[in-house]
Amino acid sequence: MSKDIHNITLIDGDGIGPEITKSVVEIIKACGVEINWDYQLAGARAYEKYNSVLPDDTLKSIEKNKIALKAPITTPIGIGFKSVNVQLRRHFDLYANVRPSKNLPAIKTPFNDVDLVIIRENTEDIYAGLETKVDENTIHGIKLITRQGCERIVEFAFQYALKNNRKEVGVVTKANISKLADGMFLNCFREIAQKYPNINTREILVDNLCMQLVQKPSQFDVLVMPNLYGDIVSDLCAGLIGGLGVAQSANIGQDCAIFEAVHGSAPDIAGQGIANPTGLLRSAVLMLEYINETNSAKRIEQALFEVLKNGVHLTRDLGGNATTKEFTNEIIKCL
Ligand code: NAI
């Protein structure tokens, strides 16, 4: 049987981006998945070369391939431009940000029973960039929430729960204060939940959620929320499983998706060959699942877990001495 060849845009980013990208590309190749990587730039290196942090060629490549893997990029300081990540999410209408948080083998954290998924609305809320200066001392910042935006993210969360055999979807708002905007998010949730009688539901205010997450995170399953709460809560949840360095994420739209590590370009360790590729690798695992290479996704995840469990070839951020290359080679050996 002939294998599928996938065309995927690859943004190898800045700082440690190229190092961890090389590692991930090698591991996927060793697993036997056939991918035509279309290398494109975004961020500081793109700015140096094209005077643009998000060149047209990069956008065209993603438009064509409908799928991208993106390493972290450096935000050039002192240049007035919008966040590349926010621009990409809005340009391709990647309305669902999926951030699973589950304990990893051998990474010690205060809890060992975390297994939850944050589904963050990715295009609205204060990220719509609607801020105006009324006068020197007054700013109006608009929190944009639309019914269509609420319905599609809530629907996405229930569909995600169904496909992934999850038992409960919780909705996170501040509807006691934001009665209209968060109130609409909550009402959409209540309406859509009726279509999914086999999935339990829960309603929780975001402040209470934060307190409960650091006391008993095991009580939560899938959680859906507006953009700003999702931004903050998903980093909190990354902290529950070992930090941003190991967290995975996917930005998903109707017919396009971008997978990325959640940490930054780590300029302090760039070029030293010691970066941990786990965050980008785990995001690539989500990408392989998305393109139906589920068997390879499982093999890579198991190989990664084995290396973490063995504990001998860990990178410095995880308390070891291994280089990126040694860590990568160990994963490839375990495949
Ligand atoms: P950062 O996440 O790059 O680094 C924070 C600390 O974590 C540093 O000590 C770094 O060495 C360490 N670290 C991060 N990833 C690591 C990895 N994979 N392996 C080992 N250690 C790792 O955050 P920082 O320093 O605030 O930002 C640096 C640059 O990255 C900035 O220009 C920022 O705007 C950008 N950034 C980009 C993101 C993206 O493209 N998605 C996300 C966050 C920040």
Q: pTM higher than 0.75 for the full model? A: yes
Structural domain including 161 reads 108-241
Note whether residue 101 is domain-resident: no
Query: For ligand 1, atom 12, which residue shows the shortest CA distance?
Result: 266
Note whether residue 89 is domain-resident: yes
Phi, psi of 77 (to 5 degrees): -85, 140
Report the C-alpha gap between 188 and 124 in whole angstroms.
Answer: 15
The helices-and-strands tally (H runs, E runs) of the chain is 11, 12
- Indicate whether 147 and 235 sit together in one domain: yes
Note whether residue 103 is domain-resident: no
- Indicate whether 253 and 235 sit together in one domain: no
Residue reference for tokens 């029973």: 113
- Indicate whether 117 and 230 sit together in one domain: yes
* Token pair for 242: 């070992």
- Indicate whether 22 and 132 sit together in one domain: no
- Indicate whether 157 and 204 sit together in one domain: yes
- Indicate whether 23 and 75 sit together in one domain: yes
- Indicate whether 167 and 223 sit together in one domain: yes
- Indicate whether 64 and 78 sit together in one domain: yes
* Dist. CA 325 → ligand 1 center (Å): 19
* Dist. CA 265 → ligand 1 center (Å): 4
Report the C-alpha gap between 239 and 235 in whole angstroms.
Answer: 6
Note whether residue 250 is domain-resident: yes
- Indicate whether 128 and 227 sit together in one domain: yes
How many domains in the chain? 2
Note whether residue 102 is domain-resident: no
From the CB of 296, is ligand 1 less than 6 Å away? no
CATH number for the domain including 67?
3.40.718.10
Q: What is the pLDDT along the chain (335 residues), one digit of tens a residue?
A: 557 899 999 999 999 999 999 999 999 999 999 999 999 999 999 999 999 999 999 999 999 999 999 999 987 666 656 788 888 998 999 999 999 999 998 788 999 999 999 999 999 998 877 889 999 999 999 999 999 999 999 999 999 999 999 999 999 999 999 999 999 999 999 999 999 999 999 999 999 999 999 999 999 999 999 999 999 999 999 999 988 889 999 999 999 999 999 999 999 999 999 999 999 999 999 999 999 999 999 999 999 999 999 999 999 988 899 999 999 999 999 99
* Dist. CA 163 → ligand 1 center (Å): 32
- Indicate whether 55 and 179 sit together in one domain: no
Nearest by Cα to 85 from 68, 100, 102: 68
Query: For ligand 1, atom 7, which residue shows the shortest CA distance?
Result: 266
From the CB of 276, is ligand 1 less than 6 Å away? yes
* Dist. CA 232 → ligand 1 center (Å): 16
From the CB of 268, is ligand 1 less than 6 Å away? yes
* Dist. CA 185 → ligand 1 center (Å): 32
- Indicate whether 198 and 178 sit together in one domain: yes
- Pocket test of ligand 1: the residue of 81, 104, 263 to mutate, having most ligand atoms within 8 Å of its CB, is 263
